[in-house]
């Protein structure tokens, strides 16, 4: 707790002065507020002894003035503390985002987007609340309680003492409540998340559920989660009810006792009626901040958890970074020649007894050559391709482009040399044009960019873009137009081509296309690939026909390299794979 | 599923809110509340008593000061003790009733919500495929998630606070008027600017609130999209550009939340000042009335204590208004979904199928997806004898998938009939039908859960051996065995 708060203290260094000012005016506001009961005391005593119209007017006027000062101070608190704290919030968020974008893909696979999102959103907001509200209110509430009790003790030490008795239990109860409540709230959030998932799947998978007649089972599963949520909510209500009960009964009981004691004291001359009145007025004002203190202790714990969750991500080590002294790349003369030497790799989460996924891959792709990579499904083809732009890092051996090891290059340079069309086509919510030009220098003149985009779209046989409602400017992705799988794939392919890399990495880029379209794309692609070094994963022989040579990946090694015809002749394993792949590619389409 | 050129959620058929739907939503609410009628009556009694107990305190103090002190001077402690005991009793009774109210209220609310969730889920499952194709899936999901949340919010933070707050204000007002009419008039007068201020705040804040919602939705969807597409982001070197975009979105978000904070920063101190002015007014008016011997000092103290509390609930009421509005909107949308009817329904007297052979006959079947659309399947007759495997071949868009969907009764035929072992599909219970006709769809939708659960979807009672056998038939066994579990 201390460590996390200390780090937060450093983060807020630039706004500390403003926070101090905020604290000052908040305490000021409480003290001014506590003056009002004093006015009541004076007036009541005055009315009991020597009443004049002037005192009544003065009392009224003073209260209005005090109220105005209090209001202005309350307003100033927000001006001082909250504006700057929202800046801190934004900065923490942006720093977090930039940090995770630099982290390797393996890190993202481990964390999952949901976890990262909740840290960037909920946790950072919670931290901001703590900075702007919690820290200040903690100090100022404590001050209010102390000053209030002091004021009460001026009325009567005995009454102040009686009131003091309930302060610790109120703080303690509120703290306990806050903790319990926030745990139950988290549980509700989790259950709500589960319900959303179940509902989403039940709606998106409706065809499957209907086809199998499984709606009843889905309902049963849903009912269990919804029931758990209901029970948790009732538990939450019980906690709240118990807390509210104590918060009402406890202070009011003590005030009831105080009333009796106070009346006797007035009778015995220990205090006057005005003081008794001001005691009650002050007590009403102090109960609030006392509860607030308890709540803030709870919030401090929550804020610490939020901080720890935030720092947990920010402290994780980045394993894929640019070298300190990268080799300068001559882009103009880059050929994209790729050499793999004894490449070894295993996923960090692979089981102990499993052998390495790659046990010494050797491969040479000549400048301008198109090399196809073939192998049974799931044997690591996609993984091998991703090792080149360091999406994952090899665990042994070397990968060399144009004579330079990828580990000696700046990451940005490496990824400028290469362009990747992934197996699962990710397009972003933006126009087709933006998606295609993702890897293109945005400084280029508009006309040139447009030409590049169209050329690439044409090469990928994605001319259908013209027919979309806004042509190339049509928004696609989540909230835009929905494209079919084959259309998406062709746009992703166009994106890789538009980047004009020296080395093009294509992961089965034609898998979602029917045979006729595939033929057209292949014809177009052949012209583009003619002078670009290309590494392409192929399942079907039609895709293989794009390649000059084929490499066969089997059991973690490249076991054969040659032209399609050569391999068909010399490698029984290759014959087997091509035969099964082609047979298996007739998908049942319903 | 949706072809090119079709934007999601384009149908307007389901979005219009009519008067009738408003009535439907009230009916839905009525049907939800009905089983709890008597419990609600009990609940109302308890909340009234609880609030009475909670506003009693200043009045008891006033009575104690005005009657207890003179009596004590005469050596009679009874009124003082009585006041103290009454105060303590009010505190304990009020606290206890509060507990019962909150708990009971929430239990009813949550059971209602649970019932509605269940009904809605089942209903959306029962609706036919035609519905699911027209009503964007995102909206069906939203009805069951975010709209439900809006109702839950109303229950959570809204109802008990709201009922409590309103009653508290009313009771306070009544007590003040009975104690001293002029002070009551003064307070009621100050209620006018306070109400106006609150309405102004409420209007402004609901606009800003929507902005915050929009901005934070943008922020979140950008975040999720980038993180889930991280490999593309990296290989196309988008970190910097996306970072700038995110910073812009975060700044927009900051601006709107800052505006909301600033607005509240004006509202809250002003309201506070109004409440202090009320104290001053009561103090002055009451002071003069004490001077003129028309009022006792104790009552004046009570009036001041009440004045302090009087405005407290007003911003809770303003908050409640927002919650309430979104809950009403949610209820309307939900009842809209509940009002949808499935065109594929179970028959009145379903035919039992004892021993199914599997003979399928299409008798002059034709089908169109929608009245305005051309026939997707032209009149077709087809006889598939039991036990045969038949492949349907044809060019794209010829209607092959449609035939299969008709067999699974995703839709009902437009003309003609389909029979299974001589029984019209329409005369079979959906459950019987799905026991005997199973369709493998083009979409390979996998549910989260184990691989075995996904394979066993069609038959949850399947044994481990049966699951493995099914996997082996389609050649999925080897890769599954290599998975971690
Ligand atoms: N992030 C990861 N962590 C651990 N294992 C992984 C990870 N990604 C993939 N794998 C495993 O590595 C193996 C190879 O996966 P990869 O996607 O490279 O195969 P592939 O040859 O491209 O298959 P396909 O032909 O089906 O596309 C698979 O068994 C897969 O389960
Ligand atoms: N949900 C739907 N709403 C409206 N029209 C539809 C719908 N589904 C299919 N159609 C139309 O009905 C016709 C037949 O479609 P169907 O899916 O049965 O073809 P298919 O023979 O399976 O074609 P493919 O070989 O391409 O899968 C097509 O013109 C198609 O556009
Ligand atoms: Mg792959
Ligand atoms: Mg089809």
pLDDT in tens, A466-478: 888 888 888 886 5
pLDDT at residue A126 tops 80? yes
By the 8 A CB rule, do B58 and B306 touch? yes
Binned at pLDDT 50, 70 and 90, residue B6 comes out as very low
**Ligand 2 site residues, Cβ closer than 6 angstroms:** A 589; B 133, 369, 373, 376, 394, 396-402
Binned at pLDDT 50, 70 and 90, residue B7 comes out as very low
- Catalogue the E-assigned strands of A346-482: 358-365, 370-374, 396-401, 404-405, 418-421, 430-431, 475-476
Contacts of A10 (CB under 8 A, 6+ apart): none
| Of A192, A201, A184, A200, residue with least CA distance to A225 | A192
- Residues recorded for chain A: 590
Binned at pLDDT 50, 70 and 90, residue A238 comes out as very high
Domains A13-314 and A333-424+502-589 share a fold: no
Residue contact A241–B106, C-beta within 8 A: yes
What is the rounded distance in angstroms from the CA atom of residue B101 to the CA atom of residue A264?
36
Residue contact A86–B241, C-beta within 8 A: no
Lowest-pLDDT range, A155-159, A265-269, A432-436, B23-27? B23-27
Indicate the CATH number for domain A13-314.
1.20.1560.10
Binned at pLDDT 50, 70 and 90, residue B461 comes out as low
Distance B399 CA to ligand 4 centre (A): 7
Q: What is the pLDDT of residue B476?
A: 52
By the 8 A CB rule, do A88 and A129 touch? no
Binned at pLDDT 50, 70 and 90, residue A193 comes out as confident
**Which token pair is B370?**
């929608």
Tell me: the pLDDT tens digits for B52-91? 888 888 889 889 988 988 898 888 889 999 999 999 999 9
What is the rounded distance in angstroms from the CA atom of residue B435 to the CA atom of residue B430?
9
Binned at pLDDT 50, 70 and 90, residue B17 comes out as low
Cα A171 to Cα A49, A157, A290: the distances in Å are 40, 22, 6
Q: What is the pLDDT of residue A544?
A: 87
Tell me: the pLDDT tens digits for A307-364? 999 999 999 999 899 999 999 999 888 999 999 999 999 998 888 888 889 999 999 9
What is the rounded distance in angstroms from the CA atom of residue A159 to the CA atom of residue A169?
17
Tell me: the pLDDT tens digits for A478-514? 555 667 778 888 899 999 999 889 999 999 888 877 7
Residue contact B431–A213, C-beta within 8 A: yes
Q: What is the pLDDT of residue A277?
A: 86
Binned at pLDDT 50, 70 and 90, residue A406 comes out as very high
What does residue A537 show for φ and ψ, rounded to 5 degrees?
-85, 130
What is the mean predicted confidence (pLDDT) over B136-156?
A: 78
Our answer on whether the CB atom of A383 is closer than 6 Å to any ligand 1 atom is yes
Binned at pLDDT 50, 70 and 90, residue A583 comes out as very low
3-state SS of chain A: helix, strand, coil percent to 5? 70, 10, 20
Other beta carbons less than 10 A from residue A325's beta carbon: 8
**What average pLDDT is seen over chain A?**
88
CA B37 to chain centre: 22
A554 by Cβ neighbours in 10 Å (0-12 / 13-18 / 19+) ranks as: middle
pLDDT at residue B400 tops 80? no
Residues from chain A that touch B69, judged by Cβ atoms under 8 A, are 263, 266-267, 273
Residues from chain A that touch B90, judged by Cβ atoms under 8 A, are 252, 256
In a 13 Å sphere around the CA of A241, the CA atoms on its Cβ side amount to 22
Checking phi first, is residue B362 left (phi over 0); if not, alpha (psi -120 to 50) or beta?
Answer: beta
Other beta carbons less than 10 A from residue B141's beta carbon: 19
What DSSP designation does B5 have? T
pLDDT at residue B483 tops 80? no
What is the rounded distance in angstroms from the CA atom of residue A494 to the CA atom of residue A510?
12
What is the rounded distance in angstroms from the CA atom of residue A53 to the CA atom of residue A40?
15
pLDDT at residue B16 tops 50? no
What is the rounded distance in angstroms from the CA atom of residue A362 to the CA atom of residue A353?
24
Other beta carbons less than 10 A from residue A327's beta carbon: 14
Q: What is the pLDDT of residue B69?
A: 87
Partnered with residue A507 across adjacent β-strands are A537
By the 8 A CB rule, do A175 and A295 touch? yes
pLDDT at residue B15 tops 50? no
Looking at ligand 1, which residue's alpha carbon is closest to its atom 25? A377
What is the rounded distance in angstroms from the CA atom of residue A340 to the CA atom of residue A385?
11
Domain ranges of chain A: 13-314, 333-424+502-589
Q: Which residue from A minimizes the CA distance to B10?
A: A481
What is the rounded distance in angstroms from the CA atom of residue A218 to the CA atom of residue B453?
12
Task: Give the pairing of strands A418-421 and A503-507.
Answer: parallel
CA B389 to chain centre: 48
Tell me: the pLDDT tens digits for B159-172? 667 777 888 888 88
Distance B479 CA to ligand 3 centre (A): 13
Higher pLDDT, B422 or B469: B422
pLDDT at residue B297 tops 80? yes
pLDDT at residue A518 tops 90? no
Q: What is the pLDDT of residue A65?
A: 95
Exposed e or buried b per residue across B438-466, where buried means at least 16 C-beta atoms within 10 angstroms of its C-beta: ebebeeeeebeeeeeeebbbbeeebeeee
What is the mean predicted confidence (pLDDT) over A124-144?
A: 90
By the 8 A CB rule, do B88 and B80 touch? no
Cα B210 to Cα A223, A485, B470: the distances in Å are 32, 35, 51
What DSSP designation does A13 have? G
What is the rounded distance in angstroms from the CA atom of residue A280 to the CA atom of residue B305?
8
CA A277 to chain centre: 53
Round the CA-based radius of gyration of chain A to a whole number and report it: 36
Q: What is the pLDDT of residue B242?
A: 93
By the 8 A CB rule, do A56 and A43 touch? yes
- The CA distance from A332 to the nearest CA of chain B, in Å, is 19
Binned at pLDDT 50, 70 and 90, residue B14 comes out as very low
What is the rounded distance in angstroms from the CA atom of residue A190 to the CA atom of residue A197?
11
Q: What is the pLDDT of residue A107?
A: 93
Best B106, B238, B276, B476 member to test A by mutation, with max A CBs in 10 Å, is: B276
What is the mean predicted confidence (pLDDT) over B1-18?
A: 38
Binned at pLDDT 50, 70 and 90, residue B375 comes out as confident
Binned at pLDDT 50, 70 and 90, residue A158 comes out as very high
Partnered with residue B427 across adjacent β-strands are none
Q: What is the pLDDT of residue B254?
A: 94
Binned at pLDDT 50, 70 and 90, residue B290 comes out as confident
CA angle B155, B157, B163 (to 5 degrees): 75
Q: What is the pLDDT of residue B12?
A: 36
What is the mean predicted confidence (pLDDT) over A279-299?
A: 86
Tell me: the pLDDT tens digits for B405-452? 888 888 888 888 888 888 888 888 877 777 777 766 544 455 555 565
Other beta carbons less than 10 A from residue A197's beta carbon: 14
Of A116, A205, A233, the CB nearest to B106: A233
Our answer on whether the CB atom of A517 is closer than 6 Å to any ligand 1 atom is no
Task: Give the pairing of strands A549-554 and A533-537.
Answer: unpaired
By the 8 A CB rule, do B223 and B246 touch? yes
Binned at pLDDT 50, 70 and 90, residue B158 comes out as low
Partnered with residue B420 across adjacent β-strands are B360, B423
Lowest-pLDDT range, A266-270, B368-372, B377-381, B479-483? B479-483
- The CA distance from B317 to the nearest CA of chain A, in Å, is 19
Task: Give the pairing of strands A549-554 and A370-374.
Answer: parallel
Question: A333-424+502-589, what's its fold?
Answer: Rossmann fold (3.40.50)
What is the mean predicted confidence (pLDDT) over A400-411?
A: 94
Q: Where are the alpha helices (DSSP H) in A205-272?
A: 206-212, 215-268
Tell me: the pLDDT tens digits for B222-247? 898 888 889 999 999 989 999 999 99
Best A85, A118, A248, A357 member to test B by mutation, with max B CBs in 10 Å, is: A248
Of A43, A70, A482, the CB nearest to B283: A43
Q: What is the pLDDT of residue A589?
A: 35
Contacts of A353 (CB under 8 A, 6+ apart): none
Q: What is the pLDDT of residue A212?
A: 72
| pLDDT > 70 in chain B, percent | 83
Query: Which long-range contacts link A512-518 to residues 24+ away (Cβ below 8 Å)?
Result: A512/A485, A512/A486, A512/A488, A513/A486, A513/A489, A514/A486, A515/A542, A517/A461, A517/A486, A518/A542, A518/A543
SS3 A141: helix
Looking at ligand 2, which residue's alpha carbon is closest to its atom 26? B396
What is the rounded distance in angstroms from the CA atom of residue A386 to the CA atom of residue A372?
15
What is the rounded distance in angstroms from the CA atom of residue B314 to the CA atom of residue B325?
17
Lowest-pLDDT range, A173-187, A441-455, B311-325? B311-325
Task: Give the pairing of strands A338-345 and A396-401.
Answer: antiparallel
Tell me: the pLDDT tens digits for A48-91? 787 788 888 999 999 999 999 999 999 999 889 888 899 999 99
Residue whose tokens read 């969730």? B117
- What is the DSSP track for B233-301? HHHTT-HHHHHHHHHHHHHHHHHHHHHHHHHHHHHHHHHHHHHHHHHHHHHHHHHHHHHTTSS-HHHHH
ipTM for the predicted complex comes to: 0.86
What is the rounded distance in angstroms from the CA atom of residue A253 to the CA atom of residue A261?
13
Q: What is the pLDDT of residue B4?
A: 34
Q: Which residue from A minimizes the CA distance to B92?
A: A249
Q: What is the pLDDT of residue B3?
A: 33
Q: What is the pLDDT of residue B469?
A: 58
Contacts of B17 (CB under 8 A, 6+ apart): B332, B336
Of A209, A230, A584, the CB nearest to B114: A230
| pLDDT > 90 in chain B, percent | 12
What does residue B380 show for φ and ψ, rounded to 5 degrees?
-130, 135
| A219 in contact with B, Cβ within 8 Å | yes
Lowest-pLDDT range, A169-183, A326-340, B137-151? B137-151
| A426 in contact with B, Cβ within 8 Å | yes
Q: What is the pLDDT of residue A28?
A: 93
Distance B396 CA to ligand 2 centre (A): 8
Tell me: the pLDDT tens digits for A206-216? 777 777 777 77
Residue contact A495–B236, C-beta within 8 A: yes
What does residue A409 show for φ and ψ, rounded to 5 degrees?
-100, 155
Tell me: the pLDDT tens digits for B100-109? 988 988 888 8
What is the mean predicted confidence (pLDDT) over A449-464?
A: 90
What is the mean predicted confidence (pLDDT) over A557-581?
A: 88
Exposed e or buried b per residue across B63-100, where buried means at least 16 C-beta atoms within 10 angstroms of its C-beta: bbbbbbbebbeeeebebbbbbbebbbebbbbbbbbbbb
What is the rounded distance in angstroms from the CA atom of residue B225 to the CA atom of residue B213?
18
What DSSP designation does B375 have? P
pLDDT at residue A185 tops 90? no
Contacts of A462 (CB under 8 A, 6+ apart): A487, A490, A491, A493, A494
By the 8 A CB rule, do A562 and A549 touch? yes
| Of A512, A503, A523, residue with least CA distance to A460 | A523
């Amino acid at each position: 707790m201390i460590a996390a708060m200390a780090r937060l203290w450093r983060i807020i260094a630039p706004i500390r002065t403003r926070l101090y000012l905020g604290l000052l005016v908040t305490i000021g506001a409480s003290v001014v507020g506590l003056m009002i009961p004093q006015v009541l005391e004076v007036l009541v005593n005055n009315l009991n002894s020597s009443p004049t119209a002037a005192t009544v007017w003065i009392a009224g006027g003073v209260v209005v003035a005090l109220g105005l000062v209090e209001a202005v101070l309350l307003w100033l608190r927000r001006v001082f503390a909250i504006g700057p704290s929202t800046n801190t919030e934004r900065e923490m968020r942006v720093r977090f985002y930039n940090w995770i974008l630099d982290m390797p893909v393996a890190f993202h696979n481990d964390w999952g987007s949901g976890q990262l999102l909740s840290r960037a959103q909920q946790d950072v907001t919670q931290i901001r609340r703590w900075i702007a509200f919690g820290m200040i209110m903690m100090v100022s509430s404590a001050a209010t309680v102390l000053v209030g009790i002091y004021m009460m003790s001026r009325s009567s030490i005995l009454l102040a003492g009686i009131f003091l008795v309930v302060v610790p239990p109120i703080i303690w109860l509120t703290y306990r409540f806050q903790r319990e409540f926030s745990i139950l709230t988290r549980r509700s959030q989790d259950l709500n998340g589960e319900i959303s998932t179940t509902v989403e799947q039940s709606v998106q998978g409706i065809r499957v559920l209907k086809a199998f007649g499984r709606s009843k089972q889905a309902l049963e599963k849903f009912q269990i989660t919804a029931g758990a949520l209901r029970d948790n909510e009732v538990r939450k209500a019980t906690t709240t009810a118990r807390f509210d009960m104590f918060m009402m009964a406890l202070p009011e009981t003590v005030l009831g006792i105080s009333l009796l004691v106070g009346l006797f004291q007035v009778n015995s001359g220990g205090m006057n009626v005005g003081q008794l009145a001001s005691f009650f007025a002050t007590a009403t004002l102090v109960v609030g901040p006392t509860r607030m203190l308890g709540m803030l202790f709870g919030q401090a714990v929550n804020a610490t958890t939020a901080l720890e969750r935030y720092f947990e991500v920010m402290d994780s080590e980045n394993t894929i970074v640019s070298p300190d002294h990268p080799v300068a790349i001559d882009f103009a003369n880059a050929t994209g020649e790729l050499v793999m030497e004894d490449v070894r790799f295993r996923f960090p989460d692979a089981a102990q007894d499993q052998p390495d996924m790659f046990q010494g891959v050797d491969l040479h792709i000549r400048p301008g050559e198109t090399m196809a990579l073939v192998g049974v499904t799931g044997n690591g083809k996609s993984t091998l391709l991703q090792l080149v732009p360091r999406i994952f890092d090899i665990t042994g051996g070397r990968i060399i482009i144009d004579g330079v090891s990828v580990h000696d290059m700046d990451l940005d340079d490496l990824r400028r040399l290469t362009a990747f069309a992934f197996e699962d086509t990710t397009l972003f919510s933006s126009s087709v044009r933006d998606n295609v030009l993702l890897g293109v220098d945005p400084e280029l003149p508009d006309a040139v960019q447009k030409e590049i985009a169209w050329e690439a779209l044409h090469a990928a046989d994605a001319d259908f873009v013209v027919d979309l409602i806004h042509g190339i400017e049509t928004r696609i992705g989540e909230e835009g137009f929905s494209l079919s799988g084959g259309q998406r794939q062709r746009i992703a392919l166009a994106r890789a081509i538009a980047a004009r890399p020296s080395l093009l990495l294509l992961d089965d880029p034609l898998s979602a296309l029917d045979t006729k379209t595939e033929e057209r794309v292949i014809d177009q692609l052949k012209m583009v690939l003619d002078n670009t070094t290309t590494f392409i994963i192929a399942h079907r022989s039609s895709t293989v026909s794009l390649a000059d040579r084929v490499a066969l990946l089997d059991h973690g090694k490249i076991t054969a390299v040659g032209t399609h015809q050569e391999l068909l002749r010399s490698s029984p394993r290759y014959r087997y794979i091509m035969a099964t792949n082609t047979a298996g590619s007739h998908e049942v389409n319903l | 599923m949706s072809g090119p050129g079709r934007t999601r959620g384009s149908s307007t058929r389901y979005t219009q809110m009519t008067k009738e739907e408003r009535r439907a939503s009230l009916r839905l609410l009525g049907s939800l509340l009905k089983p709890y009628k008597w419990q609600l009556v009990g609940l109302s009694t308890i909340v009234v008593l609880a609030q009475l107990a909670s506003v009693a305190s200043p009045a008891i103090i006033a009575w104690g000061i005005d009657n207890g002190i003179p009596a004590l001077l005469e050596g009679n402690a009874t009124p003082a003790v009585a006041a103290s005991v009454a105060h303590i009793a009010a505190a304990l009774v009020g606290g206890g009733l509060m507990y019962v109210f909150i708990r009971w209220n929430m239990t009813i609310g949550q059971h209602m919500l649970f019932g509605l969730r269940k009904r809605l889920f089942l209903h959306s499952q029962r609706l036919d495929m035609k519905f699911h194709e027209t009503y964007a899936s995102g909206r069906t999901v939203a009805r069951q998630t975010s709209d439900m949340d809006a109702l839950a919010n109303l229950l959570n933070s809204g109802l008990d606070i709201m009922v409590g707050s309103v009653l508290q204000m009313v009771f306070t007002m009544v007590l003040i008027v009975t104690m001293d009419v002029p002070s009551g008039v003064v307070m009621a007068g100050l209620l006018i600017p306070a109400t106006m201020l609150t309405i102004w705040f409420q209007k402004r804040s609901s606009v800003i609130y929507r902005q915050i919602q929009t901005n934070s939705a943008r922020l979140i969807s950008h975040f999720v999209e980038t993180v889930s597409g991280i490999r593309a982001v990296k290989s196309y070197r988008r970190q910097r550009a996306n970072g700038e975009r995110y910073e812009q979105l975060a700044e927009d978000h900051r601006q709107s939340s800052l505006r909301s904070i600033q607005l509240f920063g004006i509202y809250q101190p002003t309201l506070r000042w109004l409440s202090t002015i009320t104290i001053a007014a009561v103090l002055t008016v009451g002071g003069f009335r004490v001077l003129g011997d028309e009022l006792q000092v104790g009552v004046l103290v009570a009036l001041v204590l009440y004045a302090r509390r009087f405005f407290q609930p007003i911003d809770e009421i303003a908050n409640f208004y927002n919650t309430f509005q979104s809950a009403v909107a949610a209820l309307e949308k939900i009842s809209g979904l509940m009002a949808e009817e499935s065109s594929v329904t179970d028959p009145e007297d379903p035919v039992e199928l004892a021993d199914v052979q599997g003979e399928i006959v299409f008798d002059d079947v034709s089908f169109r997806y929608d009245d305005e659309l051309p026939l997707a399947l032209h009149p077709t007759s087809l006889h598939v004898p039991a036990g045969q495997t038949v492949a349907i071949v044809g060019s794209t868009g010829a209607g092959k998938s449609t035939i299969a969907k008709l067999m699974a009764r995703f839709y009902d035929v437009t003309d003609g009939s389909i029979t299974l072992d001589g029984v019209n599909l329409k005369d079979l219970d959906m459950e019987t039908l799905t026991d005997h006709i199973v369709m493998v769809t083009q979409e390979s939708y996998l549910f989260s859960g184990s691989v075995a659960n996904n394979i066993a979807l069609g038959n949850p009672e399947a044994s481990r051996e049966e699951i493995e056998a099914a996997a082996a038939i389609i050649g999925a066994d080897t890769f599954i065995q290599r998975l971690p579990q």
